[in-house]
Structure 1
């Protein structure tokens, strides 16, 4: 398992030439928060927030960071707010292969390896895969080389008609889940590259789903399973495997690169999938 540098990063969407006030107002409205509520959370006054948003008052660097924190602004966009207010960026953007992130890379490697034989991967903000374990490699067997050329993109690999899509037995449901997830990310990051990716994968043709079954040989009935979350039902070597996906990010990141990393793990959703994976991944 190897960690590689992320691909194209999600660019900041801060409009050039606009002051910090309109940007802060945009984030406040996106969070459906009143000026008074934001002021109370940030230890300020509604009058001061109003003055900042209209450009009548220039906020301090500390105030910009405080407002961004209470508005849950992504780290990359916090730098954009600071630049718009006339300050230097606060958060560095360190390449993932930089020696300064050696401990991070080592920790991610241990995490992914420790999750085997179950699939797990690490993605950046554009869903480019920067690390994956043998469980993921197993699921990608048979995918054309053209789709595996760096940077590997998790959404493209999953939804492309020559990728994993034909093997996913509940493709329409799983596709709907992934597209909704991307829509939430676009609303959060306002990323043009992410929007382009969404438009690409949303336009892929969708074949009719195959018969939905729990884990077991294709075409054979399986014991019913009560899923606690939407599973991904995917064929592999004549069997249908079931997985529940979970995504984790870093708390209070202090670097743009780290803030945009996400670890996705696929938890087997039934005993048959557990038994099968343990038998083939050594």
Structure 2
């Protein structure tokens, strides 16, 4: 989403990145309010896959991939000046200027309950919530997030903000600790999860551990969780086979 907004509109704004002390397009867009509409149509997934993104803040600077169905968007506007903080100069403001002579483009947010951020080079969840707020009209309604084929080493608690989340793809990352799965147990509506292609899926008891940790799951790694799966997982938990593996790993680390 390449944003082209007159710079003067931000003269009363201070949107500063804590890490870089510079303006962030995503942080500015995250503060913009969608146009009120009680009859918003829900569009297709916002597809930001294959965008060469290396960090979350790269996504608001790009446009989503075109698909078979048109996106549904809403215009966004700055909040009233009385609610906006003061501004400090920054070179990053240039990201908000349209490079085409005389042209200005109204920033928009996408009306969707699904987003694809797959096949990029994301190695951290830093700025995740801000990026979603900048891209989507109502990120709190998200039901489907695809973060597959990235370089994520951990599962972030930032995902827990999205209580409506039903589908989460995390396959083909570099998650190496099975205990990272524990965080996802707090997502009450999570039904589908993928983790294959991470280091964790080679661990003994991997499938049983995930099933017992997130009992609300119905599908794991594109395979339906059957009653037999749950019975086996329950047996493993009772016998503390998975717990034994944890202790062995901890002992090996201490040595």
TM-score band w.r.t. shorter chain:
under 0.3
- What TM-score does the superposition give when structure 2 sets the normalisation length? 0.26
Q: Which has the higher contact order (CA 8 A, sep 6+)?
A: 1
